[in-house]
Amino acid sequence: MNILDFSATCPVPIAKYPQVMMAHGGGGTLMHQLLRDVFGKAFSNPILDAAHDSAQFAVPPGKLAMTTDSYVVRPIFFPGGDIGSMAVHGTVNDLAMSGARPLYLSCGFIIEEGLPMETLWRVVCSMRDAARRCGVKIVTGDTKVVDKGKGDGLFINTTGIGVMEHSLAIGPQNVQPGDAVIVSGDLGRHGMAIMAVRDGLEFESAIESDSAPVVEPVLALIKSGIAIRCLRDLTRGGLASALNEIAEAAGVKIAVEQNSIPVRPDVNAACEMLGLDALHVANEGRLVAFVAKEDAAKTLKILAGFSVSANAASIGSVVEKSEPLVVLRSAIGANRILDMPSGEQLPRIC
C-alpha cells in the first residue's frame, strides 16, 4: 500500500461542492454525506462503522493513558507533513511518553466555511495513513463548520487512549542523579520548517518538519527492559523547555553539552540567521529520555535501530538533587544557564 497516495479522488462530488459550506455542519443531508463519504470512508473500522453516538470498546488489562491536543498549524500543508498527520503523531507521541501503546483516537474538526473540499480530503487521507502507521484506530469524531473569517481554514483536536503494558513509573519524579539524558534525533526542524514557509523565507534547501511517531522506539525500549525514568515530547519550547520542566519537577540540576546535541547544519544556519536558538525551537517527532546511566549505551543502540530515532545522542546527565537548574556547556567549553524561552520566539533585528 502506498501510504502517501492522495490520488484517490475526493468522494464528495466536488463538482457540486468544491468548498465546505455552512450546511456541511448543519445536521442535514450534506453533513451526513460528509461524515459518511469523507470521514467514514477514510477512517473505517468496526468501532467507527457502528455509527453510534459514542464509541464502544473493551478495555485491555493494564493502566490506561489518555491525552488530548488541538492542532492549529498554519499553513495546513508544510514540508514534511500537514495538520492531519501532525494531529495523529502529536497525540500518539503524548501517549508514548507514558510508555503506552496507542489504541484509539477521537478527532474533532473545526472547519472554516469555504475550505476547499479537496484540501479536507487530503488532510483526512493523511490522518488515515498516519493512524495506520501508528497502529491506532480513529473511533469517534465531530465536525463543526464556522462562518468564513471565524476560523483559520481548519483546526483539529485529537484525544488518544493507550494502554500501559509495563509497570515502570515513567515521570520526572523518578529522575535520579547520575541518569543519562538522551535525545532521539536532531533538533529544531519542525519549528524552522514552519517559520520558513509561513514567513516566506527563502533558504537554499527546504527544511522539512520532523513530524513523526516515536511510539515504536519507546515500546522497544520498554520491551528490552530499559529502566526508563522519564520521557518528554520535545514540542513547543524545544529541548530547553523540556529540560527545565523536568529539572523543576524533579528538583535536580541537569548538565548538557552543546557539542553533543544534534542540530542539522541547515537548521543551525536558519537559526543563526534569525537569531533563534535551536534548543528553543519546536519539534514534532523528538523526545528526550532519562535512563539509568548503565542503560545509556543499550538505549542508544535500540533507538539507532529505528529511522525516526536513528540519530539519537547522549547529551548529558543529571548531576545532583538541587535547586532546579539546567547548565549547558557551550561549544567553547564554558558553562551557562540554559533557560526556558520567554514567550514567542521573535527573530532578532541584527
Partner 1 sequence: MKYLDEYRDGALAQKLAAEIHRVTTKPWTIMEVCGGQTHAIVKFGIDELLPQQIELIHGPGCPVCVTPLEVIDKALEIAARPEVIFTSFGDMLRVPGSTTDLLSVKAKGGDVRIVYSPLDAVKIARENPNKEVVFFGVGFETTAPATAMAVYQASQLGLKNFSMLISHVLVPPAIEALMSSPTCRVQGFLAAGHVCAVMGYEEYLPLAKKYRVPIVVTGFEPLDILHGILMVVRQLEAGRAEVENQYVRAVNQAGNRTAQDLVKKIFKIVPRKWRGVGEIPQSGLGLGDAYAGFDADKKFGLTDRLVDEPAECVAGQILQGLKKPHECGAFGGKCTPEHPLGATMVSSEGACAAYYRYRRHETIAKLKP
Q: Is the Cβ–Cβ distance between 234 and 283 less than 8 Å?
A: yes
Residue 23, burial from CB neighbour count under 10 angstroms (0-12, 13-18, 19+): middle
Q: At what angle do helices 83-96 and 117-134 cross, to 10 degrees?
A: 30
Q: Which of 46, 61, 149, 265 binds partner 1 (CB under 8 A)?
A: 265
- Please identify, using beta-carbon distances, which residue of 61 and 149 lies nearer to partner 1: 149
Task: Count CA atoms within 13 Å of residue 177 on its CB side.
Answer: 10
Q: Give yes or no for residue 149 binding partner 1 (CB under 8 A).
A: no
| Piece in contact with partner 1 (CB under 8 A), picked from 8-16, 34-42, 292-300, 315-323 | 315-323
Q: State which of positions 316-335 bind partner 1 (CB under 8 A).
A: 319, 322-323, 325, 327, 329-335
Distance CA(272)–CA(263), nearest Å, equals 12
Q: Give yes or no for residue 45 binding partner 1 (CB under 8 A).
A: no
Q: Which of 44, 205, 259, 307 binds partner 1 (CB under 8 A)?
A: 259
* Closest by CA position to 65, among listed 226, 185, 219: 219
Place of cell 511510539: 215
To partner 1, the closest distance from the beta carbon of 184 in angstroms equals 22
| Piece in contact with partner 1 (CB under 8 A), picked from 58-66, 87-95, 298-306, 339-347 | 339-347
To partner 1, the closest distance from the beta carbon of 200 in angstroms equals 8
Containing 156, the helix (H) or strand (E) segment is strand 154-164
| Piece in contact with partner 1 (CB under 8 A), picked from 5-13, 32-40, 164-172, 251-259 | 251-259
Residue 41, burial from CB neighbour count under 10 angstroms (0-12, 13-18, 19+): middle
To partner 1, the closest distance from the beta carbon of 94 in angstroms equals 26
Q: Is the Cβ–Cβ distance between 278 and 267 less than 8 Å?
A: yes
To partner 1, the closest distance from the beta carbon of 174 in angstroms equals 22
Q: Give yes or no for residue 348 binding partner 1 (CB under 8 A).
A: yes
To partner 1, the closest distance from the beta carbon of 270 in angstroms equals 10
Q: Is the Cβ–Cβ distance between 127 and 42 less than 8 Å?
A: yes
- Please identify, using beta-carbon distances, which residue of 35 and 201 lies nearer to partner 1: 201
* Closest by CA position to 105, among listed 145, 134, 74: 134
Q: Which of 208, 268, 298, 304 binds partner 1 (CB under 8 A)?
A: 268
- Please identify, using beta-carbon distances, which residue of 285 and 316 lies nearer to partner 1: 316
Q: Give yes or no for residue 199 binding partner 1 (CB under 8 A).
A: yes
| Piece in contact with partner 1 (CB under 8 A), picked from 24-32, 146-154, 208-216, 337-345 | 337-345
- x/- map, 271-300, partner 1, by CB under 8 A: -x-xx-x-----------------------
Classify 307 as helix, strand or coil: helix
Q: What is the DSSP letter of 62?
A: S
Sheet holding 137-146, edge to edge: 63-71, 154-164, 101-112, 137-146
Q: Give yes or no for residue 260 binding partner 1 (CB under 8 A).
A: no
- Please identify, using beta-carbon distances, which residue of 304 and 327 lies nearer to partner 1: 327
Instruction: Tabulate helix, strand, coil % of the chain (nearest 5).
Output: 35, 25, 40
Contact residues toward partner 1 (CB under 8 A) are 199, 201, 253, 255, 259, 265, 268-269, 272, 274-275, 277, 319, 322-323, 325, 327, 329-337, 339, 342-344, 346-350
